[in-house]
Chain A
C-alpha cells in the first residue's frame, strides 16, 4: 500500500496549520478537513504510485493546477516521486496562505511555491532557473475549463508529461466540467501519447479517472 511518511517536520507543519486555521479562519476549517480525508489521500497516492512506476527518476519542474492546499500532493510529488520543484497555481488567496503553512518545509527549502494567478488568463510565474517544466499535474479537472487552453497558452514549447484526474460525479455545483470516462478525459485534454489510463472508486464512492500522457 502506498503511503506518506509522517515525519516530525511534516507533523509540525500540518498540526501548526490546523491549529492556525481553527483559531484564525474557522470558516475554512471544514474545508481543510475535507482536503485531508481518506478519499483525497487515496486519489493522490494513486497518482504518486503510478507516476513513480512510469518515471522513477522523477522530474525537475512541475506545475500543479488547482492544487488547493496541496498538502498531500506536495509531499507525494517531492518526497515520493522525486520531483525537485513544484509550483501550485490555485486562484484562491486563502488557499495560498494555508498551503504555504502546510508546506512550510518545502517553501523554506525552495522546493515549493504557490501562486494565486489564474493561468487561464495570465502568464505563469517565471521559475526558469528550475529548468524546463517537465510535469503538469491537475487532479481537479472537473472544477475548471478544458486543459487544452492551458496547454496552448503555456506549455507548447515544453512538451511536459500531463497527469490529469477528473470524475463523472456532477452533483456538486463546482464540478463544472465532468467527464463520463477516462477516454473522455483523454479526448478533453487532447492527449495522444498515453502512458497510463485508469479509474478508481474512492472511499466516498466517487469514481475518479486518471490519465498520464502527452
Chain B
C-alpha cells in the first residue's frame, strides 16, 4: 500500500487546507493509496497525532521556519497505521497540475526530494558555510520504508546542535544529506559519507510560484506552468503567507 502524507501543526493552515490537498490528490493520483495527515490536532479519520518529543528544542525566536515536525514521519514505526512501504509527502501549499502517479515509479534506491532548480547553485555554494541559500526544498519527498530513518536518528541524537544551528529543515538537509558540492563540481566527498542520501526530482516536476522555475533561463515568477506537475507556494524567505487558493482563483483556465 502506498501512503501519501501531509503534516499540519499550529495555526498557519487549517483542517480545510488539508481537505483541499486530499481532494487534489484524489483527482491526480489513480493508484491505490491511503492519505494521512500528521497533526498536533487530529480531528478526522485520516489524522494521526504528531509526537512532541522534539518540542523542547524548538525556539521560535531562532527556529521560526524549522519544520522539524516533518521528520517524525521518517521513523515510520512511530505510526502503526502507516503499514505500507511506499511514501510520498506533500506540503499543504502545493497546487497539483497533473498526475502524480509517476512519483511512485522512480528509482527507489534512494529517497527523492525537490531540487529547487530556480536556485543559482554558485550562490548556494558561496553561502554554504553561512548556513543559508539551500537548493533543497522539502515540499515534496518520496521514499520507501526505512530510507529516511537515518535522518530521524541523526536529529534525535544531535537535537541540541541541530536545532540551534540550522534556521530551516532544508538547510539542515543540505548540510548533512545532500552533496551540493559534488552536484556542482565533482569534488571529493569521502569525508561526508551521508551526503549522497537524497536524489532529486528532475526539472519539470516542481516549480516555485514565488521564485521561478529553472535558473537562469526560466525565472519568471507568478507564472502558471501547467505543463509541470506541481506548483510550490512555500515562501518562507520573507514569511509572507498568502492564501494559495485565493491566488489560484485568478489563474487563467
Contact = CB atoms under 8 A, between A and B. Distances in A.
A binds B: yes
Interface of A: 27-28, 31, 68, 90-95, 97, 115-118, 120-121, 143-146, 149, 173-174, 176-177
A93 to B, nearest CB: 4
B188 A28 contact: no
Nearest to B164: A145
Interface in B191-237: 191-192
Contact of B126 (A31, A97, A116, A144): A31
A93 B187 contact: yes
Given A91-B175, A176-B131, 4 more contacts: A97-B187, A149-B160, A174-B129, A174-B131
A117 B175 CA distance: 11
Given A93-B181, A94-B125, A117 B165 contact: no
Given A31-B126, A91-B175, A120 B132 contact: no
17 contacts: A27-B122, A28-B125, A92-B128, A93-B187, A94-B125, A94-B128, A95-B129, A115-B191, A118-B176, A118-B192, A120-B161, A121-B157, A145-B161, A149-B161, A174-B130, A176-B62, A177-B164
Nearest to B123: A27
A167 to B, nearest CB: 15
A27 B165 contact: no
B150 to A, nearest CB: 12
Interface string B139-164: 00000000000000010011011001
**A interface, by DSSP: helix, strand, loop or mixed?**
loop
A33 to B, nearest CB: 13
B4 to A, nearest CB: 31
Nearest to B154: A121
A90 B227 CA distance: 42
A68 B129 contact: yes
A149 B161 CA distance: 8
Nearest to A94: B125
Nearest to B189: A93
Contacts of B187: 93-94, 97
B161 A27 contact: no
3 pairs of A and B residues whose beta carbons are closest in the complex:
A93-B181, A174-B130, A27-B122
B165 A176 contact: yes
Contacts of B175: 91, 118
Contacts of A116: 191-192
A173 B130 contact: yes
A173 B157 CA distance: 26
A95 B130 CA distance: 12
A83 B158 CA distance: 32
Contacts of B160: 145, 149
A82 B192 CA distance: 31
B191 A117 contact: yes
B158 A94 contact: no
Contacts of B158: 120-121
Contacts of B165: 120, 144-145, 176
Contacts of B130: 173-174
B188 A93 contact: yes
Contacts of A92: 128-129
Nearest to A66: B129
Contacts of B128: 91-94
Interface string B47-77: 0000000000000001000000000000000
A174 B161 contact: no
Contacts of A149: 160-161
A31 B130 CA distance: 11
Interface string B88-126: 000000000000000000000000000000000011011
B192 A117 contact: yes
Contacts of B154: 121
B152 to A, nearest CB: 14
